[in-house]
Amino acid sequence: MKFETAAGENPIDRQAVVGKGVDRIDGPLKTTGTATYAFEWHERITRPAYGHVIGAGIAKGRIVSLDLAYVRQAPGVITVVTAQSAGPLGKGGRNNATLLGGPVIEHYHQAVALVVAETLEQARAAAQLARIQYAREPGTFDLDAEKDGATRPDSITGGPADTAIGDFATAFAEAPVRLDGTYTTPGQAHAMMEPHASIAAWEGDRLTLWTSNQMIDWGKQDLAKTLNIPADNIRLISPYIGGGFGGKLFLRADALLAALGARAAKRPVKVALTRPLMFNNTTHRAATIQRIRIGAGADGRIVAIGHENWSGDLNGLKAEAGVRYSRPLYAGAHRMSTTRVAALDLPEANAMRAPSDAPGSMALEIAIDEMAEKLKLDPVEFRIINDTLVDPEKPERAFSERHLKECLNQGARRFGWHRRAAEPATRREGAWLIGLGVAAAFRDSPVTTSAARVRLDGRGIVTVETDMTDIGTGSYTIIAQTAAEMMGVPLERVVVRLGDSSFPVSSGSGGQWGANSSTSGVYAACVKLRENLARRLGFDAEQAVFEDGEIRQGGRRAALSEAVVDGEMIAEDAIEFGDLDDRYKLSTFGAHFVEVAVHSATAEVRIRRMLAVCSAGRILNPKTARSQVIGAMTMGVGAALMEELAVDKRYGFFVNHDLAGYEVPVHADIPHQEVLFLEETDPLSSPMKAKGVGELGICGVSAAVANAIYNATGVRVRDYPVTLDKLLEGMPEAI
């Protein structure tokens, strides 16, 4: 189905089911522990063996000798897989690092062997007997030291690495009010609850892999390339995922090694990465250095804005391009942005929730606050003055919808922004300094081809099959709501099956495209099924109404099940958006408001209130959407106050590679969070008239926290996380 504009008589617009805050249909399975995660397919597996991954003990160099004699003799050991024993391997197009290293070592904890044994304990114990000698080579581990040698990538996601509009240098130099600031964000870890885990089983030359993966078709295709086998010989199954945040977008070592281990052991093999191994073996969000220059007139209008971004990656392949955030957000005739990436010998950097935009907003939205202060303008007012209805770098391309101003205004009223002290460090409650902060939120919400299959059986049950995944986002529920609305049946008569590569290829979960694209694919399949049903029963598909399990037209009605012959009717289709993304900029907007209390003696920071106002098209399920936003807000607090991958710059690894050393927010850190969704639809975005919210919710949060801390204390911190040691020296005198 080719989508051009929303249908005039769109069944989704009835909103009998879509748009309602219904409970997650997978909730009972998860709360009772019966949802089957990647490591738990016990009823499908006969005599599974267990694999334990050995990670490299150096960051760069070579393996001189790999002595596994004692490992092979250990109790219960079945086989050991190494790069040498695995034979020639290819490389998936989406992997930077080699997933099975040796003899060359690219990064610390790169997998170099898999020990397969009868039990997990035996595999782990035997792995400790490996004797590995390395030849260590000097590596580069410090982004700041490598910054000057960083190079321009060919491109970044969504556009060129560098842009230039007008004459930035002259406009900035002549601007009456100027800001020139440098901001840093550290590396961050996904730290999802479910570890990377897989079970592999071979039947002849055909592989079944139960895994935890956000993008089923990507994983299948890249595994096929790596194993040098046809993709049709692989089936990936991933119906439930215990969190991903982008860390499970791509094929990782657990999946490859499970497949190799099962082939060598000639029986199913289960592999789960240990928590310490996950931090250095899998991907992370790269650290950034960002220089932002803003020039404005005395009236508060930005005339020049420049954003330069440096990050690092293994082999210098992928940039964490914070400049993406400043390019479309604020008006300004003279603009420039540059992106540079340094080659570092650290583990691979890649996508993490709102890649590029999360760290970009951490820098830009502090700079905007600093500029407002220089102009003696309220931070909300300054943002509204510089709002724009067209993409500043491509003025010929309008936003499909843009309601940033409404988000800021509604949020300010709801949050009581008028009570904010204009002068920092002047509002106290006993020993606590109180501050309010704001930040704008922006995240593109692109669309992509997505397919589904819909079945109707003789009982009137509608079953949806698509390889879309649910990473805790509520995909099962919004897909069920879509099918129920389109077919006119109650929600309880819809069955949703996800996360299986034998199903039609969907958009997958990533890039904030999943909800809108995958439900649109289900919409397309349902349109085809409606047409087939109407034709079979003699109705006009354009005029017929599907309601209460029936087709109705005029005074005639018939049960859906009457059309079913030979067990079931099946329809399959995909949504295709053509050049929609080229003609319109599909984006989401919002505003974050935060209140903090900072102890005047200790500089301890406590978050007291949080509000997010979101503009994201039709909200398909307000209950699950709210959960997505409050989870994103929580991650934003973590990035603001505590999350930081500490690099050992001598030996090249992340020191705090577990949940004891890598701190994330817990319940006690997070107050009540309020989320408001603007009442809107976006008819240009899809037949669902929806967008995404899962990544919008994190953009700007960290800056709102940092801005609130400044308002409370008068101490401006430009280097995240904002820990108390960075505040103490500049704190006002305690009373």
CA distance 717 to 556: 69
Determine phi and psi for 159, rounding to 5 degrees: 165, -170
Residue type, 52: H
Q: Distances from the Cα of 729 to the Cαs of 295, 349, 602, in angstroms?
A: 30, 34, 11
Q: What dotted CATH number matches 11-35+448-576? A: 3.30.365.10
Fold match flag (11-35+448-576 vs 356-445+583-730): yes
Do 46 and 268 contact (CB within 8 A), yes or no? yes
638-663: pLDDT as tens digits: 999 999 999 999 999 999 999 999 99
Query: Strands 673-677 and 605-615, how do they pair?
Result: parallel
Q: Report which of 423, 462, 291 is spatially closest to residue 367, judged by C-alpha positions.
A: 291
Model pLDDT, residue 95: 87
CA distance 533 to 546: 10
Do 630 and 701 contact (CB within 8 A), yes or no? no
Q: Please, what is the Cα angle at 268 between 190 and 249, to 5 degrees?
A: 25
Cβ-Cβ contacts under 8 Å for 453 (sequence gap 6 or more):
464, 465, 466, 503, 504, 525, 570, 571, 572
Model pLDDT, residue 9: 84
Residue 565: band (very low, low, confident or very high) from pLDDT cuts 50, 70, 90: confident
* Three-state DSSP string of 31-82: HCCCCCCCCCCHHHCCCCEEEEEEECCCCCEEEEEEECHHHHHCCCEEEEEE
21-61: pLDDT as tens digits: 999 999 999 999 999 999 999 888 899 999 999 999 999 99
Residue 211: band (very low, low, confident or very high) from pLDDT cuts 50, 70, 90: very high
DSSP of 139-184, one letter per residue? Answer: ----HHHHGGG-B--S-BTTB-S-EEES-HHHHHHH-SEEEEEEEE
477-518: pLDDT as tens digits: 999 999 999 999 999 999 999 999 999 999 999 999 999 999
684-720: pLDDT as tens digits: 999 999 999 999 999 999 999 999 999 999 999 999 9
Q: Where are the beta strands (DSSP E) in 516-640?
A: 545-547, 550-553, 556-559, 568-575, 587-599, 605-615
Q: Distances from the Cα of 87 to the Cαs of 84, 205, 226, 232, in angstroms?
A: 6, 16, 11, 21
**What percent of the chain is modeled with pLDDT above 90?**
95
Structure tokens at 653: 């690894």
413-461: pLDDT as tens digits: 999 999 999 999 999 999 999 999 999 999 999 999 999 999 999 999 9
Element (H, E) at 622: helix 622-641
Structure tokens at 89: 């391997």
Structural domain spans, the chain: 11-35+448-576, 356-445+583-730
Query: Residue 4 pLDDT > 80, yes or no?
Result: no
Model pLDDT, residue 158: 84
CA distance 16 to 585: 29
Residue type, 553: Q
Model pLDDT, residue 657: 97
Kindly report each contact of residues 163-167 with a partner whose C-beta sits within 8 Å and lies 24 or more positions away, as own/partner. 163/323, 163/327, 163/335, 163/336, 163/337, 163/393, 164/335, 164/336, 165/333, 165/334, 165/335, 165/336, 165/392, 165/393, 166/333, 166/334, 166/335, 167/334
573-619: pLDDT as tens digits: 999 999 998 899 999 999 999 999 999 999 999 999 999 999 999 99
Do 272 and 265 contact (CB within 8 A), yes or no? no
Question: Average of pLDDT values for 668-672?
Answer: 95
Q: Report which of 174, 155, 442, 182 is spatially closest to residue 333, judged by C-alpha positions.
A: 174
DSSP of 669-699, one letter per residue? Answer: G---EEEEE-S---TTT-TT-B---TTTTTT
Do 296 and 334 contact (CB within 8 A), yes or no? no
- End-to-end alpha carbon distance in the chain: 67
Which residues face 81 on adjacent strands? 114
Model pLDDT, residue 7: 52
Do 442 and 361 contact (CB within 8 A), yes or no? yes
Model pLDDT, residue 224: 98
Specify the CATH number for 356-445+583-730; select among 1.10.1450.10, 3.30.365.10, 3.90.600.10, 3.30.465.10.
3.30.365.10
Do 621 and 484 contact (CB within 8 A), yes or no? no
Chain-wide mean pLDDT for the chain? Answer: 97
Model pLDDT, residue 735: 63
Which residues face 67 on adjacent strands? 131
Residue 16: band (very low, low, confident or very high) from pLDDT cuts 50, 70, 90: very high
Question: Average of pLDDT values for 345-355?
Answer: 98
249-291: pLDDT as tens digits: 999 999 999 999 999 999 999 999 999 999 999 999 999 999 9
154-201: pLDDT as tens digits: 999 989 999 999 999 999 999 999 999 999 999 999 999 999 999 999
User: Which residues belong to the active site?
Assistant: 695
